[in-house]
Chains A and B, each alone.
Chain A
């Protein structure tokens, strides 16, 4: 088998009677960070849901670690950690309780040490960890959600607009974590409309328009992406 972690071939997905993805194809290698850029309604979230087996493609296949998401959703989901757009955790539970509960769902019993390590890694203030999430800022919630993704220790991470609504320093912290994960061999697919953040953190950036991947930009040897080219194309797409 190849070292391809995520693979979309000729994906076509219909949602609510409308074709959202119209024959999208791409491959993501293990340990790669791939950012999918697109405007509203371009099909970004649909792509993630299809990879998680929550949406069934009408044509084509979405594969995770060589398994079809549509046919073996359980096996695929055990390989995936997912960070939803608006850190959707339980407001009435504390960070500790949220993490323990969600991990118990994946048949995993976390050690207290692992929990505090993960919360350290996302630098969640120690004094907040025992308080219910309803007292948290959006950035703090996002940190708890990331900690959950880290604790899952899966080979693949799917991120939905991970930096929207975060303050600049939180965005910096987040990018550090992504780079650390990637260097550990975790494959990351993030969908975003944050052009600059995507170019900064990704190995490759794909531009999604009307349900199709129209262009892919690869980072050079230094890990940089020519941001102006990407921006021009992205904005051109927005106008169109």
Chain B
């Protein structure tokens, strides 16, 4: 009956608690800054993609005017491929800066092209990004610690606890509303900028709810943890603060780092550079092998061209593209192993996320934002498919040995990456 008045009074009380309010405001600002930086980042990425497509189209058109044979035209024709940011990328940029997102590929061996990442400034990358996922994983728990650690101890140490308990009749009615209001305050401070950012990006309601749920669960976990420590009788407030921050260090710094050491030493599969090396060797060895060895291998996987005119001793482009393709096929097993290594590490990371809420929330946000490993590998698959489309587009003129003409070259139509990968055009 007087519940409204009770809530109103607790709200007033919260407004008067300057330290708590200050920390919440700080969280709001940090979350806001991270969202603005993230939006800035994806806006720049989108701009880069637009520019890339523009430059790429111009460059390819220019190269085509210079072409005098099909093989050379294919050699010079790069095609842009890009991994557009999702509606939530701004919040969890994740490993996006280390993974390939923008590339230009051509009909040569894909293994030599697909690992090309953007050149980042390593010293800036080392510090880590200041994105929303960072705020959620690192700062949110600390704010929760600050807001709740002396909830009880401050009242006890100033001698108010007995009066409060007797006046409110029991501890539950005394603390429930105060805890709830502070919890909601923290949650709004961290989520409000995210919601605004997601609205700006036009994210779906479902995605918003998923992100909100993830953050809420994390906040519930930390609040419960801090309250368990804070409600221990006879703990002084500085003891509670020290234990809470100690727990934060273990869960947010120690376990992930231990996990990293464990993962790197236990999953020591193949290195990416070995894939590149094998592919390179295979392509180069082909020069010294009898052409028929390469062509037989190629025709085995591409029987539709097996009837192509036999090769003589002189140079021919179709041989050149065949040995590139055979090189890819030779390295395919290693490339799969390389992916498997990364996936195995990711799998172990998932297990570590059970031990560390910081890892868990980052993984969840990166999954929602499609900036995680599987999204990166999915992009890699799209690029491989696109690469196949590109090389197969040139095969008819090469293997049917069509005489060169600019008109015929113009007929070789290769779709845009957006069409090939089924991206929404924006």
Task: Tell me, rounded to whole Å, the shortest Cβ–Cβ distance linking B180 to chain A.
Answer: 15
Q: Do residues B2 and A88 form an inter-chain contact, with CB atoms below 8 A?
A: no
Indicate whether A74 reaches chain B with its CB closer than 8 angstroms.
yes
Q: How many Å lie between the Cα of A192 and that of B174 in the bound state?
A: 28
> Contact string, B1-35, partner A, CB cutoff 8 A, digits 1/0?
11001101110110011100000000000000000
Q: How many Å lie between the Cα of A11 and that of B144 in the bound state?
A: 42
Q: Do residues A105 and B6 form an inter-chain contact, with CB atoms below 8 A?
A: yes
Q: Do residues B2 and A84 form an inter-chain contact, with CB atoms below 8 A?
A: no
In chain B, residues 264-317, which have Cβ atoms closer than 8 Å to a Cβ of chain A?
none
Indicate whether A135 reaches chain B with its CB closer than 8 angstroms.
no
Size category, A interface: 20 to 34
**What residues of A have a CB within 8 angstroms of the CB of B12 in the complex?**
97, 101
Indicate whether A179 reaches chain B with its CB closer than 8 angstroms.
no
Indicate whether B122 reaches chain A with its CB closer than 8 angstroms.
no
Q: How many Å lie between the Cα of A103 and that of B180 in the bound state?
A: 20
| Chain B facing A: main interface SS | helix
Q: Do residues B167 and A105 form an inter-chain contact, with CB atoms below 8 A?
A: yes
Task: Tell me, rounded to whole Å, the shortest Cβ–Cβ distance linking A164 to chain B.
Answer: 13
Q: How many Å lie between the Cα of A89 and that of B2 in the bound state?
A: 22
Q: Do residues B169 and A104 form an inter-chain contact, with CB atoms below 8 A?
A: no
Segment among B155-163, B367-375, B379-387, B404-412 that sits at the interface with chain A: B155-163
Indicate whether A180 reaches chain B with its CB closer than 8 angstroms.
no
Q: CB within 8 A of B5: which of A49, A73, A109, A148? A: A109
Q: How many Å lie between the Cα of A73 and that of B12 in the bound state?
A: 28
Q: How many Å lie between the Cα of A89 and that of B155 in the bound state?
A: 10
**What residues of B have a CB within 8 angstroms of the CB of A85 in the complex?**
159
Q: Do residues A54 and B162 form an inter-chain contact, with CB atoms below 8 A?
A: yes
Indicate whether B413 reaches chain A with its CB closer than 8 angstroms.
no
Indicate whether B205 reaches chain A with its CB closer than 8 angstroms.
no
**What residues of A have a CB within 8 angstroms of the CB of B164 in the complex?**
102, 105
**What residues of B have a CB within 8 angstroms of the CB of A77 in the complex?**
165-167, 169-170
**What residues of B have a CB within 8 angstroms of the CB of A30 in the complex?**
none
**What residues of A have a CB within 8 angstroms of the CB of B163 in the complex?**
82, 84, 88-89, 102, 145
**What residues of A have a CB within 8 angstroms of the CB of B10 in the complex?**
104
Indicate whether B44 reaches chain A with its CB closer than 8 angstroms.
no
Q: Closest residue to B8 on the A side, CB-wise? A: A104
Indicate whether A80 reaches chain B with its CB closer than 8 angstroms.
yes
**What residues of B have a CB within 8 angstroms of the CB of A78 in the complex?**
169
> Contact string, B159-187, partner A, CB cutoff 8 A, digits 1/0?
11011111111100110000000000000
Known contacts: A101-B9, A107-B6. The answer to whether A92 contacts B168 by CB under 8 A is: no
Total inter-chain residue pairs, C-beta < 8 Å? 74
Task: Tell me, rounded to whole Å, the shortest Cβ–Cβ distance linking A208 to chain B.
Answer: 19
**What residues of A have a CB within 8 angstroms of the CB of B174 in the complex?**
105
Known contacts: A73-B170, A78-B169. The answer to whether A104 contacts B159 by CB under 8 A is: no
Q: How many Å lie between the Cα of A152 and that of B169 in the bound state?
A: 12
**What residues of A have a CB within 8 angstroms of the CB of B162 in the complex?**
49, 52, 54, 82, 84, 88
**What residues of B have a CB within 8 angstroms of the CB of A214 in the complex?**
none
**What residues of A have a CB within 8 angstroms of the CB of B2 in the complex?**
104, 107-109
**What residues of B have a CB within 8 angstroms of the CB of A104 in the complex?**
2, 5-6, 8-10
**What residues of A have a CB within 8 angstroms of the CB of B158 in the complex?**
88
Q: Closest residue to A53 on the B side, CB-wise? A: B166
Known contacts: A101-B12, A104-B5, A104-B9. The answer to whether A89 contacts B160 by CB under 8 A is: yes
Task: Tell me, rounded to whole Å, the shortest Cβ–Cβ distance linking B1 to chain A.
Answer: 7
> Contact string, A88-120, partner B, CB cutoff 8 A, digits 1/0?
111011000100111011111100000000000
Q: Do residues B167 and A106 form an inter-chain contact, with CB atoms below 8 A?
A: yes
Q: Do residues B1 and A92 form an inter-chain contact, with CB atoms below 8 A?
A: no
Taking Cβ atoms with an 8 Å cutoff, the residues of B that contact A are: 1-2, 5-6, 8-10, 12-13, 16-18, 158-160, 162-170, 173-174
Extra contacts, 15 of them, besides A49-B162, A92-B17 (Cβ < 8 A), are: A54-B162, A74-B169, A77-B170, A80-B166, A82-B163, A82-B166, A84-B159, A84-B163, A88-B162, A89-B163, A92-B18, A93-B13, A104-B10, A105-B6, A107-B6
